[in-house]
């Protein structure tokens, strides 16, 4: 149970903050709402106090209230700018300046406001101070437009709140000073100028690993293979759309302290795809695929002492686990993350995962949980291996 200061600012998504209060209260947290005048145009402050089962404080210094976590959801472009510049012109921004613990913000605004260089510069300022972002996500926006800018769903915000509170019990900056490389997404192998062979990997697992490594203070590089989710801000992103690109870029960072190969890399490719589109002529199209280089094996062969190498095995439940154990040994990886892709509720393109972490010292099952929780378990294990070096 934790004390959570919940700032709500003036966007349409303020109504969703009501659900967030309920979820936080149900999870056993003490919530103290701070509602801006802008937010009160959408939902009365009393609604939040009633849902939080508290009343507006008669304290002359309500902004000095101590809490384990400050959450601002939704966060408007206006308050984002005020937080970035350290203004203290209302109760929420005063409380933010007086708060010394972790801060999680859930921006919500029109895509053009989000993409504006001023907003992006303000976001970078907040990230550089260790503020965590959840969302915004793509989808339908209040004014009828489509794009990035929707507030993350209250359930996702709650998951992040829990992850931050758990992380608070860990040593802060446990990966600081270390370089972590994560590959994420799924490669696409061209068949001709427009067609490709791909897979269903969204990149969510890899992105969750990047966020967790960033939270632990690492200098993170993301090798991004056709992500369907936005890459986190404040890290180095290298686009690696094909297996060949991924191989080249992964080997270029082979001296990193921790390498996590979470991307689904094609095992086969067409050696010489046509530079133009193959016309449809009704005849069968016979192609011969050639195996791609096994990037993890290449990294294992080139590994330097002290480095931690993590591989993923997406396989069926039957003998997949045994195959993953064998692959870990053969590819000289320290850790293998096995997940059963025969289940539709976990793994590929799903928000949750359930894995077995295989290392030299044994195996650890991590039950079904959001990918952020799985990412934390994987990095805990990687840190354990690092500490033995």
Ligand X SMILES: Cc1cc2nc3c(=O)[nH]c(=O)nc-3n(C[C@H](O)[C@H](O)[C@H](O)COP(=O)(O)O)c2cc1C
Closest approach of Cβ 11 to ligand X, in Å? 3
The yes or no reply on residue 10 touching ligand X (CB under 6 A) is yes
Catalytic residue (one of 122, 199, 339, 353): 199
Closest approach of Cβ 136 to ligand X, in Å? 10
Closest approach of Cβ 13 to ligand X, in Å? 6
Identify which range of 6-14, 19-27, 274-282, 333-341 contacts ligand X by CB under 6 A.
Answer: 6-14
Closest approach of Cβ 240 to ligand X, in Å? 34
The yes or no reply on residue 351 touching ligand X (CB under 6 A) is no
Identify which range of 31-39, 56-64, 131-139, 235-243 contacts ligand X by CB under 6 A.
Answer: 31-39
Binder among 39, 69, 131, 182 for ligand X (CB under 6 A):
39
What six digits make up the tokens of 253? 């960072």
Select 59 or 89, whichever has its Cβ closest to ligand X: 89
Q: What is the 3-state secondary structure (H, E, C) of the chain?
A: CCEEEEEECCCCCHHHHHHHHHHHHHCCCEEEEEECHHHHCCCCHHHHHHHCCCCCCCCCCHHHCCCCEEEEEEECHHHHHHHHCCCCCCHHHHHHHHCCCCEEEEECCCHHHHHCHHHHHHHHHHHHCCCEECCCEEEECCCCCEEEEECCCHHHHHHHHHHHHHHCCCCCCCCCCCEEEEEEEECCEECCCCCEECCCCCCHHHHHHHHHHHHCCCEEEEEEECCCCCCCCCCEEEECCCHHHHHHHHHHCCCCCEEEECCECCCEECCCCCCCCCCCCCCCCCCCCEECCCHHHHHHHHCCCCCEEEEEEEECCCCHHHHHHHHHHHCCCCEEEEEECCCCCCCCCCCEEEEEEEECCEEEEEEEEEHHHHHHHHHHHHHHHHHHC
Select 9 or 307, whichever has its Cβ closest to ligand X: 9
* CA 113 – CA 119 distance, rounded (Å): 7
Select 117 or 306, whichever has its Cβ closest to ligand X: 117
Q: Which residues contact 375 (CB under 8 A, 6 or more apart)?
A: 205, 208, 209, 211, 212
- Which x/- pattern, by CB under 6 A, does the window 96-135 give for ligand X? ------------xx---x----------------------
Binder among 6, 36, 223, 347 for ligand X (CB under 6 A):
36
Closest approach of Cβ 346 to ligand X, in Å? 33
Binder among 4, 9, 123, 348 for ligand X (CB under 6 A):
9
199 is annotated as an active-site residue: yes
Binder among 21, 24, 72, 77 for ligand X (CB under 6 A):
77
* CA 52 – CA 67 distance, rounded (Å): 15
Select 40 or 349, whichever has its Cβ closest to ligand X: 40
Closest approach of Cβ 322 to ligand X, in Å? 51
What six digits make up the tokens of 242? 């094909």
Identify any residues that bridge with 327 across adjacent strands, giving them in sequence order: none
Binder among 29, 34, 72, 76 for ligand X (CB under 6 A):
76
Binding residues for ligand X restricted to 267-326, rule: CB under 6 A? none
Identify which range of 36-44, 160-168, 191-199, 335-343 contacts ligand X by CB under 6 A.
Answer: 36-44
Select 47 or 76, whichever has its Cβ closest to ligand X: 76
C-beta separation of 353 from 368 below 8 A: yes
Residues binding ligand X: number (CB under 6 A): 15
The yes or no reply on residue 71 touching ligand X (CB under 6 A) is no
Identify which range of 33-41, 199-207, 284-292, 295-303 contacts ligand X by CB under 6 A.
Answer: 33-41
Identify which range of 3-11, 248-256, 323-331, 353-361 contacts ligand X by CB under 6 A.
Answer: 3-11
Residues of the shown chain interacting with ligand X in the complex, contacts defined by CB under 6 A: 9-13, 36, 38-39, 76-79, 108-109, 113
Q: Which residue numbers are catalytic?
A: 199
């Amino acid at each position: 149970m934790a004390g959570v200061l919940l700032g709500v600012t003036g966007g349409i998504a303020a109504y969703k903050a009501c659900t967030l209060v309920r979820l936080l209260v149900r999870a056993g947290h003490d919530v103290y709402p701070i509602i801006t005048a802008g937010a009160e145009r959408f939902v009365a402050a009393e609604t939040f106090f009633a849902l939080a089962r508290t009343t507006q404080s008669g304290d002359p210094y309500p902004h000095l209230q101590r809490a384990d976590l400050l959450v601002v959801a939704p966060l408007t472009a206006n308050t984002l700018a005020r937080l970035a510049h350290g203004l203290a012109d209302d109760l929420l921004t005063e409380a933010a300046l007086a708060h010394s613990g972790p801060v999680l913000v859930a921006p919500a605004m029109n895509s053009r406001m989000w993409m504006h260089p001023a907003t992006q510069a303000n976001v970078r300022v907040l990230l550089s101070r260790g503020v965590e972002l959840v969302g915004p996500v793509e989808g339908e926006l209040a004014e009828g437009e489509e794009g990035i800018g929707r507030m993350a769903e209250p359930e996702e915000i709650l998951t992040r709140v829990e992850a931050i509170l758990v992380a608070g019990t860990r040593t802060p900056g446990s990966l600081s000073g270390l370089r972590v490389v994560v590959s994420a997404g799924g490669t696409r192998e061209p068949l001709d100028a427009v067609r490709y062979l791909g897979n269903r990997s969204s990149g969510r697992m890899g992105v969750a690993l990047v966020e967790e490594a960033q939270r632990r203070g690492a200098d993170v590089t993301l090798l991004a293979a056709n992500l369907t989710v936005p890459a986190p801000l404040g890290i180095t992103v290298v686009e690696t759309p094909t297996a060949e690109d991924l191989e080249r870029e992964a080997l270029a960072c082979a001296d990193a302290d921790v390498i996590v190969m979470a991307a689904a890399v094609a095992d086969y490719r067409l050696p010489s795809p046509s530079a133009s589109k193959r016309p449809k002529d009704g005849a069968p199209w016979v192609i011969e695929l050639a195996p791609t280089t096994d990037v993890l094996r290449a990294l294992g062969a080139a590994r330097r002492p002290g480095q931690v190498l993590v591989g993923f095995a997406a396989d069926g439940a039957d003998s997949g686990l045994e195959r993953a154990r064998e692959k870990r040994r053969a590819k000289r990886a320290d850790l293998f993350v096995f997940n059963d892709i025969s289940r539709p509720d976990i793994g590929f393109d799903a928000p949750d995962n359930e894995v077995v972490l295989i290392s030299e010292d044994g195996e650890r099952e991590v039950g079904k949980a959001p990918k952020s929780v799985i990412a934390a378990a994987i990095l805990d294990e990687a840190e354990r291996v690092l500490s033995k070096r």
